[in-house]
Amino acid sequence: MFLDEALIHVLAGDGGNGCVAFRREKGIPKGGPSGGDGGDGGSVRIVADAALTTLYPFRFQRRYAAGRGGHGEGSNCHGRNGRSVDVPVPVGTLVNDATTGELIADLTEDGQAVLVARGGMGGRGNARFSSSTNRTPRRSDPGVEGEKRDLALTLKLLADVAIVGLPNAGKSTLIAAISAARPKIADYPFTTLVPNLGVVSWDRFKTFVAADVPGLIEGAHEGHGLGIRFLKHVERSRILVHMVDASAFLAETTRGLGTEAEKTIRIIEHEMASFAEELAKRERILVANKSDAATPEQVKAVEKAAKKRGIPFFAISAAAKKDLDPLLTHLGRRLEETAPVRVAPVRFLTPPGPERDPAEAVEAETGEP
């Protein structure tokens, strides 16, 4: 099942308490303090994993807790540190604070990680308080509580090309024809209920990723139909393939065909621009599908609309796998020409930060030195 939104609660481990103890051994009557420090609590990280494609696992588990630190013990024994927890999510996941709405991280590379809940520091044992004026300290620090927060996870698919259009335009048929994806295909609207990703091969060994976005209708940006739920998956794509069913125009005159084609195309244009202004500026090509079932006049009406907008035009038949190579070659070359500069992925987005003195942490929480 495809799931692209989830709410989870993360809880870091508390630090262990420091210990009050004194050395007691034969022949050493005044061994002095020997209480060890408590262990640090475990932290929680969100980690991008390319093996995952959906947030579906979070339907069953929504609470992730790290282990607490062990308490200090005598003989200057340090408590064990708590077990940290890594929460795997699909690449392309946005991590937001569910309370404030603040964006914490956008995980776009496999292996990227963000620290979302830091474990509490362990308290100091009484051995830490020994001094020339206080040889038998009887105080220790409690462990600091770990952080906890509610997170909103949102998945935006990472695809080079997004195929958009009205229901039954043939988007699923196209992605099935050019990749190994096998979406549901039928002769009724809204057959596709979730986005489908496919790896497309062109020019022998070169590839790119295409996404079949479920059919949009008028008012999609307001939530009509499948609406805004899937429009967000278009945002990361570098090129939009706007697909039109050329055989669906029923006007009797050539002029009427042009008017009907314009109306059909403008519906999708308006919905994308209303959802995000930058989508209206995204590189786009216009594709007339079902050319084998359409008349030359119907195909010509879509081509005229493409020329009016100054965007590339292709006429194909996805079902018959006709004229697909020119389309794929154009997409592949444009993706190569506009490829962003690649940088080494950030492996840890939130640095651990400067070390704090445990005494300062306790003083900040309790107000006591």
In the predicted structure, residue 159 carries a pLDDT above the cut 60 = yes
pTM tops 0.85, yes or no:
no
148/173 same-domain check: no
Residue 322 and residue 213 in one domain: yes
Residue 361 token pair: 């942490």
Sheet strands (E) in the chain: 5-11, 44-49, 63-65, 85-90, 93-97, 103-107, 113-117, 148-155, 161-164, 196-202, 206-212, 239-245, 283-289, 313-315
Lowest mean pLDDT, pick from 112-126, 190-204, 214-228: 214-228
Query: What residues form DSSP beta bridges with 46?
Result: 87, 114
Residue 215 is predicted with a pLDDT of 62
Residue 11 has pLDDT above 80, yes or no: yes
258 with 187, same domain? yes
Is 40 found in the same domain as 123? yes
**Shared domain check, 226 and 147:** no
CA 173 to chain centre: 27
The answer to whether the Cα torsion of 269, 227, 200, 296 is positive or negative is negative
Q: What is the CATH number of the domain that holds 294?
A: 3.40.50.300
pLDDT 10s digits, 272-305 = 888 778 888 889 999 999 998 888 888 999 999 9
Instruction: Give the domain CATH number at 53.
Output: 2.70.210.12
β-bridge mates for residue 286, sequence order: 242, 313
Query: Which pLDDT tens digit goes with each residue over 32-59?
Result: 899 999 999 999 999 999 888 788 889 8
- Is there a single domain that holds both residue 329 and residue 239? yes
Same domain for 129 and 176, yes or no, is no
- Three-state SS for 53? coil
Dist CA 98 CA 177 (whole Å): 40
Provide the token pair at 229.
């739920």
Dihedral pair phi/psi, residue 94, rounded to 5°: -95, 135
Model pLDDT for residues 334-362, shown as the tens digit of each residue: 988 887 655 444 444 544 444 445 445 44
> Measuring CA to CA, how many Å separate 35 from each of 15, 22, 93, 148, 361?
16, 7, 45, 29, 19
Measured between alpha carbons, how far is 65 from 44 in angstroms, rounded to an integer? 7
Domain range for 356: 5-155+345-366
172 and 279 belong to one structural domain: yes
For 211-243, the pLDDT digits (tens) are 888 766 555 445 544 545 667 778 888 899 999
> Do 216 and 287 belong together in one domain?
yes
Q: Are residues 179 and 100 in the same domain?
A: no
